[in-house]
């Protein structure tokens, strides 16, 4: 069943395919969520992994059941003895784990191994009796692993359902043990970053920020300490790894000033190396990352970048570079809290940022993937955006929604208003026209504006004619949009001309095709 998982305050809730928000999901005993950090999610098969905000990493099934990503391992060693007659003769060792199982008995997660016995147990014509501790977590089964006689490799031995039984006797022969040795296991660390890549979970621990951790293949558990990959340059800053960016054949791993990618298939050949163009480029916010059609989009200090098969390159250099390199449009000190999402309908990368002086992301901009154009900055007065999510619709098509600070979700609308609260201000200023002759006075003739004919509506057009410095806006004109083409009047004399277009009426469309000024004559030089 398709669902979208959200953190709402200090609770987890899901949205189903018809847009219904669930009650707060029940967390495992002893686990709480903080609302002072950003929740991080990853999808693994039928589960969503949640890290950074829970006190222990969690998995959430499509049935809404919240579980620990890995149960805590047994706290004491299993004790073997042989008090009763049986068919076993030899010397044995045993270890214990705990398992989480689904309704069909499939393993969802398995804990790390408990401590080993300090010495082996030798018996002759006996049954092995194992005494073991129950788990402090809610688990579905205990798993015992045993060696063959005089062996050192542990094989699956017995699975004991529930979390009540503390002892069992058995005399299964060596030949009757599982044929595959017990896998590498390990407890999930306190993860701050998480992603899925090539059938494994990859993450970063809160305490070891320079190391990339990963699970055993095909599992979301098995966080063996051997599965650790240091990412250069270790110790260069306190931030460590800042983002994980999975593409089809490579995992992007960024620092604040370096873009690495990890390739390989096993522990033996996983290796990080610097991406072409990424020697001085990093990522400032994990939440700014969007991957679509095997192309990754993300925010760095001086703009929005993409990472594809050719390397890393900047998309915002040019007309909108000043959005990211000046303090005019956004609070650059808050870039690390930015977040983004891809609108799958319009194919636009939407990036939410804080306005100058603000500490909340109250503005957003859009990059159109089809036309490769930038739009914005946008702002709403109806609410403060805090998240952008894709919700799985009943027709299997995702749709874009914005979460706000007060706990509501908003969907794009066709009506031309700010979520029913106020009109959307259309405000456009032209460049400074000088007819490539800035030293000469010009006579600016009659202004004619052409747009799509609307049922009704007036637009204010304010001309500013004069010198570059000291010019003041003139008397505004009123463009009647119901005419389509409207001749407005003569503009005046001056070296420069700027036109300001303004319209602010709720639910009223505006579409301008252009404007003409006729004639424009050179008067002379003062």
Q: What is the pLDDT of residues 334-391, one digit of tens each?
A: 999 999 999 988 999 999 999 999 999 999 999 999 999 999 898 888 888 999 888 8
Instruction: Indicate if 474 and 513 belong to the same structural domain.
Output: yes
pLDDT exceeds 90 at position 304: yes
Instruction: Indicate if 140 and 269 belong to the same structural domain.
Output: no
pLDDT at site 3:
76
Instruction: Indicate if 41 and 9 belong to the same structural domain.
Output: yes
Domain, as residue range, for 202: 3-63+187-318+388-407
Instruction: Indicate if 398 and 511 belong to the same structural domain.
Output: no
Q: What is the pLDDT of residues 397-407, one digit of tens each?
A: 788 888 888 77
Instruction: Indicate if 38 and 106 belong to the same structural domain.
Output: no
Instruction: Indicate if 55 and 98 belong to the same structural domain.
Output: no
Classify residue 341: in a domain, yes or no: no
> What is the count of structural domains for the chain?
3
Average pLDDT in the chain: 93
Instruction: Indicate if 172 and 191 belong to the same structural domain.
Output: no
pLDDT exceeds 60 at position 83: yes
Q: What CATH number is attached to the domain comprising 489?
A: 2.60.120.260
Q: What is the pLDDT of residues 216-227, one digit of tens each?
A: 999 999 999 999
pLDDT exceeds 80 at position 244: yes
Helix (H, G, I), strand (E, B), or coil: what is residue 175?
helix
pLDDT at site 158:
97
Helix (H, G, I), strand (E, B), or coil: what is residue 225?
coil
Classify residue 462: in a domain, yes or no: yes
Classify residue 371: in a domain, yes or no: no
Can you count the helices (H) and strands (E) in the chain? 1, 41
Q: Across-strand partners of 154?
A: 147
pLDDT at site 332:
97
Q: Across-strand partners of 500?
A: 429, 462
Q: Which structure tokens are listed for 486?
A: 């409207």
pLDDT exceeds 90 at position 319: no
Rounded alpha-carbon distances, angstroms, from residue 272 to 29, 216, 234, 246, 262? 38, 18, 13, 13, 4
- Only one residue has tokens 């979700």, namely 409
The CA distance from 353 to 361, in Å, is: 4
Instruction: Indicate if 291 and 403 belong to the same structural domain.
Output: yes
Pinpoint the alpha helices (H) of 201-299: none
Asked if 68 contacts 99 with a C-beta cutoff of 8 angstroms, the reply is: no
Classify residue 344: in a domain, yes or no: no
pLDDT exceeds 60 at position 314: yes
Give the chain's largest Cα–Cα span. Answer: 118
Asked if 98 contacts 139 with a C-beta cutoff of 8 angstroms, the reply is: yes
Q: What is the pLDDT of residues 287-300, one digit of tens each?
A: 999 999 999 999 99
pLDDT at site 2:
65
pLDDT exceeds 80 at position 394: no
pLDDT exceeds 60 at position 28: yes
Domain ends where: 123, 156, 176? 176
Q: Which structure tokens are listed for 68?
A: 């620990």
Classify residue 364: in a domain, yes or no: no
Instruction: Indicate if 276 and 396 belong to the same structural domain.
Output: yes
Domain ends where: 130, 155, 176? 176
Instruction: Indicate if 216 and 290 belong to the same structural domain.
Output: yes
Instruction: Indicate if 158 and 26 belong to the same structural domain.
Output: no
Classify residue 264: in a domain, yes or no: yes
Cα 476 → chain centroid? 46
Q: What is the pLDDT of residues 411-456, one digit of tens each?
A: 777 777 777 777 888 888 999 999 988 889 999 999 999 999 999 9
The contacts of residue 445 (CB under 8 Å, 6+ apart) are 490, 491, 517, 518, 519, 520, 521
- Residue 1: band (very low, low, confident or very high) from pLDDT cuts 50, 70, 90: low
Q: Which of 386, 325, 327 is nearest to 356 (CA)?
A: 327
Classify residue 454: in a domain, yes or no: yes
- Only one residue has tokens 């983004």, namely 340
pLDDT exceeds 90 at position 506: no
The contacts of residue 176 (CB under 8 Å, 6+ apart) are none
Domain ends where: 176, 198, 215? 176
Q: How many CB atoms within 10 Å of residue 151?
A: 16
pLDDT at site 200:
97
pLDDT at site 174:
96
Q: What is the pLDDT of residues 267-289, one digit of tens each?
A: 999 999 999 888 889 999 999 99
Instruction: Indicate if 120 and 230 belong to the same structural domain.
Output: no
Q: What CATH number is attached to the domain comprising 202?
A: 2.120.10
pTM (2 decimals)?
Answer: 0.86
SS (H, E, C) 313-364: EECCCCCCCHHHHCCCCCCHHHHHHCEEEEECCCCEEEEEECCCCCCCCCEE
The CA distance from 220 to 49, in Å, is: 9
- Residue 175: band (very low, low, confident or very high) from pLDDT cuts 50, 70, 90: very high
Helix (H, G, I), strand (E, B), or coil: what is residue 55?
coil
Mean pLDDT of 30-39: 96
The CA distance from 45 to 64, in Å, is: 14
pLDDT at site 416:
72
- Residue 467: band (very low, low, confident or very high) from pLDDT cuts 50, 70, 90: confident
Mean pLDDT of 288-313: 97
Classify residue 375: in a domain, yes or no: no
């Amino acid at each position: 069943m398709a669902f979208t998982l959200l953190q709402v305050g200090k609770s987890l809730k899901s949205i189903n395919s018809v847009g219904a928000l669930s009650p707060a999901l029940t967390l495992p005993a002893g686990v709480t969520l903080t609302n002072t950090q950003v929740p991080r999610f990853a999808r693994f098969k039928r589960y969503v992994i949640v890290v950074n905000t829970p006190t222990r990493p969690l998995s959430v099934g499509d049935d809404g059941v919240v579980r620990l990503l890995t149960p805590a391992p047994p706290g004491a060693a299993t004790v073997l003895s042989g008090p009763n007659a049986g068919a076993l003769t030899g010397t044995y060792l045993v270890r214990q784990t705990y398992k989480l199982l689904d309704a069909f008995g499939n393993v969802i997660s398995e804990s790390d191994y408990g401590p080993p016995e300090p010495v082996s147990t030798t018996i002759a014509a006996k049954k092995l009796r194992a005494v073991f501790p129950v788990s402090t977590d809610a688990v579905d089964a205990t798993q015992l692993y045993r060696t063959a006689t005089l062996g050192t490799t542990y094989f699956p031995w017995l699975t004991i359902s529930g979390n009540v039984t503390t002892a069992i006797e058995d005399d299964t022969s060596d030949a009757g043990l599982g044929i595959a040795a017990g896998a590498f296991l390990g407890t999930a660390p306190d993860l701050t970053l998480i992603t899925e890549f090539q059938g494994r979970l990859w993450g970063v621990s809160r305490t070891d920020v320079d190391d990339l951790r990963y699970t055993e293949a095909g599992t979301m558990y098995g966080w063996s300490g051997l599965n650790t990959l240091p990412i250069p340059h270790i110790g260069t800053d306190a931030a460590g790894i800042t983002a994980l960016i999975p593409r089809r054949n490579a995992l992007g791993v960024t620092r604040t000033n370096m873009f690495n990618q990890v390739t390989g298939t096993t522990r033996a050949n996983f290796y990080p190396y610097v991406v072409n163009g990424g020697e001085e480029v990093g990522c400032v916010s994990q939440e700014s990352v969007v991957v679509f059609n095997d192309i990754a989009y993300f925010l760095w200090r001086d703009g929005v970048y993409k990472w594809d098969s050719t390397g890393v390159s900047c998309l915002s250099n040019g007309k909108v570079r000043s959005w990211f390199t000046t303090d005019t449009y956004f609070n650059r000190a808050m870039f690390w809290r930015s977040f983004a999402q891809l609108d799958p309908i319009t194919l636009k990368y939407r990036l939410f940022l804080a306005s100058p002086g603000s500490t909340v992301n109250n503005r957003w901009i859009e990059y159109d993937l089809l036309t490769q154009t930038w739009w914005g900055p946008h702002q709403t007065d109806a609410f403060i955006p805090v998240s952008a999510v894709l919700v799985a619709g009943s027709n299997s098509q995702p749709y874009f929604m914005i979460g706000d600070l007060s706990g509501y979700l908003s969907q794009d609308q066709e009506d031309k208003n700010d979520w029913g609260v106020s009109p959307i201000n259309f405000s456009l200023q032209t460049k400074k026209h000088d007819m490539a002759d800035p030293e000469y006075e010009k006579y600016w003739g009659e202004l004619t504006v052409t747009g799509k004919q609307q049922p009704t509506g007036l637009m204010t057009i304010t001309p500013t004619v004069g010198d570059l410095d000291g010019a003041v806006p003139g008397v505004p004109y009123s463009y009647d949009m119901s005419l389509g083409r409207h001749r407005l009047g003569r503009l005046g004399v001056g070296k420069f001309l700027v036109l300001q277009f303004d319209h602010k009426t709720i639910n009223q469309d505006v579409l301008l095709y252009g404007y003409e000024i006729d004639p424009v004559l050179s008067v002379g030089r003062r």
